[in-house]
Structure 1
Amino acid sequence: MLQTPVVHKRTSRVIFFDLDQTLVQSAAPTREALYEVLFRRVQEHNPTVYNNYEHFKQLCVDLSIRHNGNARGWQMLFGLPDSWTYSVYEDAAVPMANAVREACKPDQQIVDELMENRRRGIQQFVFTQSTKSYCDIVLPHLNLDSVFEPEEVLHVNWAGNKLKTDEEIYKQLFTIPEVRHAALHDLVDDNLHNLRAAAKYGGCRGWLNGGTLPEDMRPYVFQHHPHIHNTLSALAA
């Protein structure tokens, strides 16, 4: 089930919406089409290594949980060319989008709310751990490309998708390599300054220190990335 988007408590001018905790990851079948395409590619590349689809799918699921970065992790494990990343998502885009849409039917009101907010001029951002390739292909099939501008889709960092410069981190707001994942529902408080990384999100979210981080990461994050504090302050003004 989708969770209601977190609205800034003081002004309601800025909404942060976690795509992975809602649309993208709302049901396991949404990934089935991707696994099927990937399996066909692996078969073409090296048919003698993985020839059982169910076993292969379980490997993919386990890899996703352990490394929190599907495409790059799959490429490394299966020895696939880097150039395949986008085309794998492209081949699977329509069936994946259909699966996501089906899984989200009971919560269509959330998507409707996002569209209405857009019409009202409320600025909205979506956090996602999914790759840009995935979002570029799947979001249009969900009609969400009409809701979010490209700069409003914020990709939090995951292993294998490291950003290079502070400028890129600034543009993405919370793409912080040391943190790996900004837990949206623990992120917003009255001042929009408080980033908490609660252990309840666990290692499957790619946390450091064996899957846990201190509850309040604010001093560390803002010491190393003060521009993030300034940007959020400006957004909340």
Structure 2
Amino acid sequence: MASQKQMEVVTKGTGFRRRPKTTTYTPGTCELLRVMMKESKLTNIQQRHIMDIMKRGDALPLQCSPTSSQRVLPSKQIASPIYLPPILAARPHLRPANMCQANGAYSREQFKPQATRDLEKEKQRLQNIFATGKDLEERKRKAPPARQKAPAPELDRFEELVKEIQERKEFLADMEALGQGKQYRGIILALAHCCDSSSDIDHRRSEELRKGLATT
């Protein structure tokens, strides 16, 4: 009885340590873990640490311990905030309403009447448009200035008589050539009358005309 009690005390007091159960990783699992470690860009030290755990048959860690280089990284210095003046600030401060009113931001521009048109002229213009379909005022503006025609030279009555006599003389010559001169004796009388009229206009020139007709 005493030995049994002693064994119970030892069992309850200290107990026996049980060795944890080992895990056996298949070659496929090992290869998959190698690929995953490369894709995760683990360092060589981290990869060797995980491979040792797999060889011992221990459970894989949930987090990979950092490397020595990562532990020694210096702490980053916190940059002090830069305060900009109100002019250079990203968002300008809003001005109060009383300041805007004092600066005249809410004041309306006074109406300035422009020169009005003559209503009577406008009525007349519209009546012309409805009646003729054209704007007479616009045509007056666009109408070019009229060119002044040079005065026609005054006709010389003596020259006109000379021209008539010459035409009738040529006509009589043609008729004489055809043997029909007797039928146009009246033209000869008209020529004589023209000569008399020319003498009334210019006696000297009429004498020259008579001599010219006599020679021809």
TM-score category, normalised to shorter length: under 0.3
TM-score (norm 1): 0.17
Q: Which has the larger radius of gyration?
A: 2
